[in-house]
Amino acid sequence: MAEPQEGSEKKFQSYIPASQVMSEFSIPALIIGLVMCVVLGAANAYLGLKAGMTIAATYPAAVIGMALLRLTRGNVLEENFARTVGSIGESVAAGAIFTLPAFYIAGLWRQDFSSAEHYLISASIMAVGGVLGIMFVAILRRVMVEDTSLPFPESVAAGQIHIAGREGGTGASYLFGAMGAGALIQALGQLKAFALEWVHFVPFASASIKGKGGAILVKDASGGLVLSSPGVSPAYIGVGYIIGPQLAALNFSGGLLAWGLFVPILLYFMSSSMTFDKNDTEAWIGAATNIWRYIVRPMAIGGMLVGAGFTLFRMRAKLIGGMKRSVRDLKAAASGQKDDTLRTDKDIAFSKVLIGIGVAAIATFFIYLYFINNAEPGPVTPFQIGAALLATVVLVFAGFLFAAVSGFLVGTIGSSNNPISGLTLSTLIIAALLLAVVGLKGDGGVSAVLGVAAVVCVSSAVAGEMLQDLKVGHILGGTPWKMQVGDLVGVVLAAAVMFAPLVILNEGDIKMGQDKGYEGGFGGPKLPAPQASLMAMLSQGIIGGDMAWPLIIVGMLMGLAMVLMQVRSPMLISVGMYLPLDTTFAIFLGGIIKWVLDLYRERKLKAPPEEAKQDPDKAFVFTKGQRAFIKNNGVLLASGLIAGEALMGLVFAGLAFFDQKVPSIFENPSFITSLFVFAAIAGILIVIPLLKPGRPDAQVQEMDA
């Protein structure tokens, strides 16, 4: 339901009026929401570690919640509550994967990442960050959610899903069917029914490079080019489909820069010093991979650093507006609430919010004191107490500030485009510089900096997602305090269990790497975790001086060049350089599939121009409502493919974690079979939405994915 325009005297009316009381915080809705919270959170953890991106869980949570609550005859407010709790796990997962693997990549938790001690610390970080995010939102909700200048595009679309679901189908068949397809494809790939990728090395002819006077600058240089197919991954293709052809192409361009320019040219000049057999193709591929991992990737991190800064600079007006708003809203919220406040305008009591923030801050202080003291065991010193207190003050200030900014950005551009990693990076740099100035060094300093970044990252992600869901509740007529309490339960549960999929993925990939000949774990080729790698390198570089500055600076200059060329997203290109080529290629393939669908979705009829001008809908095969319906079904199908592969991927990682050998259907499967798998995925994402475009007169809001 649309908000009234500014200056209009018409009062906003939610779908369920504030005067109407119905079941909302029910046991079935809570249980369904908590299950979705864990499942969708784990799926996003898998996706984020592998592709460096997460997807908004609001849409699948809305569809799944509606489908399951129909079995218990749940009402629309129960559906809203279940979706709210179910989608919050994705934000906890995003905060976790952007930061917690950094402890492993930085070498702090490398030997015993899965220990009970690290579980307790990780769970505490996620829980504290989640609670702080919700407490901050309880302060900010009223002004932000009721601000008609903030469009909340994804919230409006999610609200329309619920409203449309009361009048017809939910779209659950698309989502669950695609989940099954994604899981089946992932299982067959792991069982070697087809090849997951095709890699080939094209050697260059050996030559010497001569300078002035015939002087030999490089003798007998050779090298070559590593070619790769798209990875056979429903999840990667689904990501490319959701972000669209333009962003998918930007991401793939980073892969082309890495593997089509930097790796070949470095391999060419370094080839004369390599001692392996030049006829050994596998050795050449290994050498190229090492160059990419240890030279090109640090350059990509420099580009990511500039890209994150450029993203924040480009949003500077919105960021400054969000900062001013946060101060103003805090003053307004301090006045409290009246007893006659409408049901749809009641938040958690302000006094309880302050208590919650205080308890979370105290818990954070002890977490940071543990990090600092654990690096140099012994009696706690006043210096350590002061450093932990400084880190806590930075956290609370930055946490509230970026929670407000995150909510403002979600209200403007949606949670899918919210630059959480950029906000976290800003916090990390500030915390690292402050702690370095006061003299904190070594592993304790790196741990404390990563701890600050982790809590702020979870807090900002949760705040943005919570405000998005509260806007949906505002549209539907939900009760804010019930949604906030439900999310408190959700973040605590997610914090308690989200470390498990991280351990399973990390340990399972390490064991898979031992069997398949690659170095597994976080930061490896299968779990690159680009944001966490960036956090690890920066914290080590600022606190300990352990940074490959020449490569970082070169990458920063590259990022600056992209900014000067007015590239739309230098960050996305840099992430593409950091990811394996088969990953970015598969994402690009997903973007191409979406482009093909859009060609059919938007193709024009052969109608007389005059008739088309009188009725624009007649200029298309599909009406505006049908085009929105096709897009929404495509997003649900892509989301299902992602979730299906992610959940099945966790199953196989778990089998590796418990040393269970997986049988192989073929010893050396053919990649020709994989081409049919690509065709099947394309058919799912193109043909199915076009076959059922909905009613011509349908009034449907497009999902802003």
Under a CB-based contact definition with an 8 Å cutoff, are residues 602 and 245 in contact?
Answer: no
Q: For 9-24, write each residue's pLDDT tens digit.
A: 446 677 788 788 888 8
pLDDT of residue 585: 93
pLDDT of residue 364: 86
Q: How confident is the model at residue 455 (pLDDT cuts 50, 70, 90)?
A: confident
Please indicate, yes or no, if residue 492 is contained in any of the structural domains.
yes
Please indicate, yes or no, if residue 180 is contained in any of the structural domains.
no
Please indicate, yes or no, if residue 99 is contained in any of the structural domains.
yes
pLDDT of residue 492: 93
Under a CB-based contact definition with an 8 Å cutoff, are residues 86 and 33 in contact?
Answer: yes
Please indicate, yes or no, if residue 238 is contained in any of the structural domains.
no
Structure tokens at 100: 């917690």
Q: Which of 148-162, 581-595, 660-674 has the lowest mean pLDDT?
A: 148-162
> Which class for 526: exposed (0-12), middle (13-18), buried (19 or more C-beta within 10 A)?
buried
Please indicate, yes or no, if residue 336 is contained in any of the structural domains.
yes
**Which residue carries 């790939």 as its tokens?**
189
Q: Which structural domain, as residue segments, surrounds residue 132?
A: 27-171+311-516
Which neighbouring-strand residues pair with 226? Answer: 201
> Which class for 168: exposed (0-12), middle (13-18), buried (19 or more C-beta within 10 A)?
exposed
Q: For 39-66, write each residue's pLDDT tens digit.
A: 888 888 887 787 666 766 777 888 888 8
Q: For 551-602, write each residue's pLDDT tens digit.
A: 878 988 999 999 999 888 787 888 788 778 888 899 899 999 999 998 887 7
Which neighbouring-strand residues pair with 385? Answer: none
Please indicate, yes or no, if residue 466 is contained in any of the structural domains.
yes
CA distance 370 to 364: 10
When divided into structural domains, the chain yields a total of: 1
State the average pLDDT for the chain: 79
pLDDT of residue 255: 92
- At residue 299's C-alpha, the angle toward residues 95 and 584, to 5°, is 65
Under a CB-based contact definition with an 8 Å cutoff, are residues 308 and 425 in contact?
Answer: yes
Q: For 640-662, write each residue's pLDDT tens digit.
A: 887 788 778 778 777 776 777 77
**Is-above-0.75 flag for pTM?**
no
Please indicate, yes or no, if residue 342 is contained in any of the structural domains.
yes
pLDDT of residue 252: 93
Please indicate, yes or no, if residue 675 is contained in any of the structural domains.
no
Q: For 88-134, write each residue's pLDDT tens digit.
A: 888 888 888 888 898 888 888 887 888 888 899 999 999 998 999 89
CA distance 116 to 18: 47
Q: For 273-316, write each residue's pLDDT tens digit.
A: 777 777 788 888 888 888 887 788 888 878 877 876 776 677 66
pLDDT of residue 147: 66
